[in-house]
Amino acid sequence: MIKPHGSDTLNSLLITDNDKLQQLLTEAESLPSLLLNSAAAANAVMMGGGYFNPLKGYMNLADSLSVAENLHTQDGLFWPVPVVNLVKDVSAIEGASRIALRDPNTEGNPVMAIMNVTAIETVTDAQINGMAEQIFATLDLQHPGVATFTGLGNHLVSGDIQVLSLSYFQADFPDTFRTAGEIRDEIAQRGWKKVVAFQTRNPMHRAHEELCHMAMERLGADGVVVHMLLGKLKQGDIPASVREDCIRKMVELYFPANSVMVTGYGFDMLYAGPREALLHAVFRQNMGCTHLIVGRDHAGVGDYYGAFDAQTIFADKVPTDALEIEIFNADHTAFSKKLGRVVMMNEAEDHIKDDFILLSGTKVRQMLGDGIAPPPEFSRPEVAKILMDYYQLDSA
């Protein structure tokens, strides 16, 4: 199986030994505590689940600046996005060498990790903005990622962590949430060697379904891991539970048995386009996938990125020995009325725009809210039914 990123074996920071866990939970009650923001909590979940291998904790300022500027830590590890614990107020932990980190997304704010504090550093607004511009390619506060990152605070708390909880994800998504190690184990159990990862924060329509079929066929892959983002999205995005129902129905009806794993991970969407595509590649390698589908405007939002910036960054910015995972570059896929099937638009000769069935997200949401199913060439009727039920209930 493909090696994890940056190490020979996967480094999960989650404490799984029950005696050790209870010991640390008891210790945590006597430690100064810090209530994390959602972004820092998501980073803890990803480190706990082994997705951010080989990191052992939150980055310090020097590493954060280096990653934002140069795509690597000071010791040379390729990494695309700073993994930080930025906070507004550190008065409760000043002078502490060991602290409890509390979960902002679970009732009662239970302890989710214990941290050995290496440093508490002040980050200037200029440094915050400099990192944001490198990560998101803009400082426009209308960009949801920029607005979040620049509002986290100016104190950076760094150091190694021991993760005691993966927040609400295991309880709320017991059939879908998986750690990187659990996915690697299932890939091995299924006997898959060549494995394609498909990133999604949306329900999967015909175009997405066919893209997975294309990638498996062209790569000779044994299977595809549909990997859903289960954390926070922007307002208006479809909840994870609805997306999960859509995806599972599509897989059940339109894919061969033992060809798809439907899984999810606990992270907040960054909407960082090319930089987030690189991060997706890192943690898909960590979970055992050999290939990642990178499509048009991958992880983008609005018009902040070029349609294929998330593909070209791999060729332009990633050293040849930095990643073992390979990228399957995909164009926009759509149903061709001429050919009677879903195709990559750049592969359809003698086609004009009107030869494809293309619907905007706004138009699809309007149709679903009005109880009108999108055409079957765009969305499987069984998937459209789930979405119509959600939109009509949501608007009631």
Query: In terms of DSSP bridges, do strands 111-116 and 33-35 run parallel, antiparallel, or are they unpaired?
Result: unpaired
Least-confidence region, from 49-63, 73-87, 219-233: 219-233
The amino acid at 175: D
Q: Tell whether the model's pLDDT for residue 243 goes beyond 70.
A: yes
Average pLDDT over residues 171-197: 96
User: Residue 101: left (phi > 0), alpha (psi -120 to 50), or beta?
Assistant: beta
pLDDT-derived band at 53, boundaries 50, 70, 90:
very high
Do residues 66 and 130 touch, judged by C-beta distance below 8 A? no
Least-confidence region, from 35-44, 166-175, 199-208: 199-208
Q: List % helix, strand, coil for the chain (3-state, nearest 5).
A: 35, 20, 45
Examine the pLDDT at 212 and tell me if it is beyond 90: yes
pLDDT tens per residue across span 332-355: 889 999 999 999 999 999 999 999
Active site residues: 201-202
Question: What domains sit in the chain, N to C, each tagged with a CATH number?
Answer: 18-170 (3.10.400.10), 177-395 (3.40.50.620)
Helix H or strand E encompassing 119: strand 119-122
Tell me the β-bridge partners of 326: 291
Who wins on pLDDT, 10 or 395?
A: 10
* pLDDT of the residue at 396: 54
User: What is the pLDDT confidence band of residue 395, given thresholds at 50, 70 and 90?
Assistant: low
pTM attached to this predicted model: 0.94
Beta bridge partners of 111: 102
CB 67 within 8 A of CB 59: yes
Distance of alpha carbon 267 from the chain centroid: 6
The three-state DSSP-derived secondary structure of 102-136 is ECCCCCCCCEEEEEECCEEEECCHHHHHHHHHHHH
- The residue-averaged pLDDT of 164-184 equals 95
In this prediction, residues 62-66 reach a mean pLDDT of 98
